[in-house]
Amino acid sequence: GDVNGDGKVGIDDATNIQKYMAEMLDFTDKQKELADVNKDGKVGVDDVTLIQKHMAGLAVIE
């Protein structure tokens, strides 16, 4: 989840994942691994949603 490397999972990470999905931002292999929050092997809307739920206290990201 922490794709921007600031030590926490937050809105900036969700925004960066959305930018990556829209091909507006490139990710390193490590960032792609971190962006796959639900560990389904791909980076997608479900990962952004999980980060948003985490920020609202509705999900835990490990």
How far apart, in Å, are the Cα atoms of 9 and each of 34, 38? 10, 14
The structure tokens listed for 53 are 């739920």
Where does the pLDDT of residue 16 fall: very low under 50, low under 70, confident under 90, or very high at 90 and above? very high
| β strands within the chain, DSSP E | none
4, part of any domain:
no
The share of the chain scoring above pLDDT 70, in percent, equals: 100
25, part of any domain:
yes
1, part of any domain:
no
37, part of any domain:
yes
3, part of any domain:
no
Closest CA to 51 of 22, 17, 4, 6: 17
Is there a contact between 37 and 1 (Cβ–Cβ < 8 Å)? yes
pLDDT at 62: 80
Q: How many domains, in total, are found in the chain?
A: 1
User: Which residues span the domain enclosing 31?
Assistant: 11-55
Backbone angles phi, psi at 12, to 5 degrees: -65, -35
The share of the chain scoring above pLDDT 90, in percent, equals: 97
6, part of any domain:
no
